[in-house]
Structure 1
Amino acid sequence: MSTYFVKRLTYMAIILLAASFLIFSLYAMTPGDFITGNIKLTPERKAELREIYGLNKPLIERYLTWMKNAVHGDFGYSLAQQKPVLTLFNQYIWNSFLLAIVSTFLTWLIAVVVGVIAAYKQYSWFDTLVMVLIFSAMSIPSFFIGLFLIKVLAVDLKWLPPGGMITTGSNAQGFAYVKEVIHHMTLPVIVMTLLGVGSLTRYFRSNMIDVIKQDYIRTARAKGLTERKVLFTHALRNALLPAITLVGFELPALFGGSLIIEKIFNWPGIGQLYMQSFGLRDYPLLMGFTMFIAVLTVIGTLLSDILYHLADPRVKL
């Protein structure tokens, strides 16, 4: 196990080093930046700022400086927001995490339960209805679902607020603040759950169909075990094994998958900040966020390998 971790950590370091150079190079070679595109600055002031922030230095020298600072936790300074990138991350990323963790929990819960029942009742009316809803959810764009639910639930029925994290001008604290946040996050969580539950339900359904045809499932039924115990104890555990590989993609998806949703619902998360930075060409913040996603991807892949080994000891690391 220790040898495996040493090898994986070495691979992770090499992958992240290559990813960091690729990320930095792509953004650095993109034409224009925040200083160049700022029409309020004089040519002399632009040249001065480029000198101050080292934007006129060679690419390799700039990368080495950025990487040295990144190792020490300094991912640069956001010129558009006038704050360090790490400070902005700490300010916005927890809002995104709140949306992502709730929607991910609901997505997996619904997908597992519905997938198991649909597989058990294959070709029934329930299975047919589930498949129709799955393909409908997968085919409709996220912005359409978001705007449609805002129109119906927020504008017409006035059940939920159309956007934001709290009511404008609200001074709520304690439990009242928590209640207000939950009320505002309901719509974006519904949309994110609808977008993710389709493909995951189909994945669990196909896995369960394969598993319940195995000999050991027939043996468990022959022993007189209840159908619920056969499905959710014996079959589901083995059907979950292939799904563990998806964990490696869940970590980056927690933050990368909510970019459009946060923009639609005006949710003050890292996704909306990232989208705004594109228009402003705030490359330090864009590089920091993209590098953050790369780190999460590598860590998620390692976690999925370890979880797969724990779930099935026959698989060697």
Structure 2
Amino acid sequence: MSTYLLRRFIYMVLILLGASMLIFFLYALTPGDFVSNNMNLSAERKAELREIYGLSKPLLERYMTWISHIFQGDFGYSLAQQKPVLELFNDYVWNSFLLAIVATFFTWFFAVVVGVISAYKQYSLFDTLVMIGIFAAMSIPSFFIGLFFIKIFAVDLHLLPPGGMTSTGSNAVGLAYVEDVIKHMTLPVIIMVLLGVGSLTRYFRSNMLDVIKQDYIRTARAKGLRERAVLYRHALKNAMLPAITLVGFELPGLFGGSIILEKIFNWPGIGQLYMSSFTVRDYPLLMGFTMFLAILTVIGTLISDILYHTTDPRVRL
């Protein structure tokens, strides 16, 4: 295990170095930047700011400075927000994480339960309705269903707030604050679950259909085990193995935010900040955030590999 982890760590460093070069030069070679696109500044002031922020230095020198700061835990300085990028992460990323972790929990819960039942009752009325619902949910754009739910539940029925994280002017603390946040995050979470549960349900259904046809499942039934024990103790455990690979890709998604939904519901998350940074070409924040997601991706991949080995000892690292 130690040899594997050391080798993977070396690979991770090399992958991140390659990703950092791609990220930096992709943004650095894009025409325009925050200073040159600011129409309120004179040419002299623009030249002064470019010198202050190091934008006039050669690309290779700028890259070496940026990557050396990354290794020191400094992801750059946002020109538009006038704050360190890590400080902005701390201000916004946890709001996105709260939304994503709740939505991910319910998405996986419903996907596992519905996928198992749908596979067990293959070609039944329930299975048919599930498949129709899956394709319907996957085909509806997030911005449409978001605005539709706001129209129904917020504007017409007045059951839930239309957006934001807390009520305007609210000074609630303790349980009152928690209740207010839950009300505001209900609609975004419901939509994220609807959009994500379809493909995941199909994934679990397909895995279960493959597993329940195996010989050891027939053997378990022949021994007289209850059908629930056969499904959830034997079949589901093995059907979950391929899904462990998806865990690694969930990690960057938990912190990456949902750009469209956060914009629709005015949720103060990192996705909305990321989108606004594109508008003003705040490349230091964009580069820092993209590099942050790349780090989470390689870490998540490592975690999924270790979990796969832990769950199935037959798999060699």
TM-score normalised to structure 1 length: 0.99
- Structure 2 counterparts to residues 291-310 of structure 1, below 5 A: 291-310=291-310
Give the SS at the match of 1:315. Answer: coil
1:209 corresponding residue in structure 2 = 209
2:93–2:257 contact (8 Å) kept in structure 1: no
1:42 corresponding residue in structure 2 = 42
- Listed one character per residue, the Cα deviations across residues 36-62 of structure 1 (whole Å, up to 9, x for unaligned) are 111111100000000001100111000
Give the SS at the match of 2:89. Answer: helix
Shift of 1:255: 3.2
Question: What code does the residue aligned with 1:192 have?
Answer: M
1:141 corresponding residue in structure 2 = 141
- Listed one character per residue, the Cα deviations across residues 222-248 of structure 1 (whole Å, up to 9, x for unaligned) are 111111111011000000001111112
Give the SS at the match of 2:240. Answer: helix
1:78 corresponding residue in structure 2 = 78
Question: What code does the residue aligned with 1:280 have?
Answer: V
1:153 corresponding residue in structure 2 = 153
Mean Cα displacement is larger for which, 65-74 or 41-50? 65-74
1:65 corresponding residue in structure 2 = 65
1:163 corresponding residue in structure 2 = 163
Give the SS at the match of 2:176. Answer: helix
Question: What code does the residue aligned with 2:203 have?
Answer: Y
2:103–2:192 contact (8 Å) kept in structure 1: yes
2:257–2:270 contact (8 Å) kept in structure 1: no
Question: What code does the residue aligned with 2:112 have?
Answer: V
Q: 2-side partners of 1:256 and 1:173: how far apart?
A: 27
Shift of 1:256: 3.4
Question: What code does the residue aligned with 2:43 have?
Answer: P
Shift of 1:75: 1.4
2:257–2:269 contact (8 Å) kept in structure 1: no
Q: 2-side partners of 1:308 and 1:105: how far apart?
A: 20
Which 4+ stretches in 1 moved above 6 angstroms?
A: none
Shift of 1:252: 1.5
Mean Cα displacement is larger for which, 71-80 or 157-166? 71-80
Q: 2-side partners of 1:72 and 1:255: how far apart?
A: 21
Aligned pair count reads 317
Percent identical across equivalent pairs? 77
Question: What code does the residue aligned with 1:224 have?
Answer: G
Q: 2-side partners of 1:194 and 1:280: how far apart?
A: 32
2:263–2:272 contact (8 Å) kept in structure 1: yes
Shift of 1:73: 1.5
- Listed one character per residue, the Cα deviations across residues 50-92 of structure 1 (whole Å, up to 9, x for unaligned) are 0001100111000000111111111111111111111100110
Gaps of 5+ in 2: none
1:109 corresponding residue in structure 2 = 109
Q: 2-side partners of 1:163 and 1:29: how far apart?
A: 37
Q: 2-side partners of 1:223 and 1:231: how far apart?
A: 14
- Structure 2 counterparts to residues 183-194 of structure 1, below 5 A: 183-194=183-194
1:270 aligned to 2:270? yes
Gaps of 5+ in 1: none
- Listed one character per residue, the Cα deviations across residues 197-237 of structure 1 (whole Å, up to 9, x for unaligned) are 00000000010011111111111111111111110110000
Give the SS at the match of 2:38. Answer: coil
Question: What code does the residue aligned with 1:190 have?
Answer: I
CA RMSD of superposed structures (Å): 0.7
Call closer, same or farther: CA 1:140–1:150 in 2, change over 3 Å: same
Call closer, same or farther: CA 1:206–1:302 in 2, change over 3 Å: same
1:245 corresponding residue in structure 2 = 245
Q: 1-side partners of 2:225 and 2:105: how far apart?
A: 29
1:120 corresponding residue in structure 2 = 120
1:97 aligned to 2:88? no
Q: 2-side partners of 1:210 and 1:73: how far apart?
A: 46
Shift of 1:257: 5.5
Q: 2-side partners of 1:74 and 1:256: how far apart?
A: 19
Question: What code does the residue aligned with 2:64 have?
Answer: L
Question: What code does the residue aligned with 2:206 have?
Answer: S
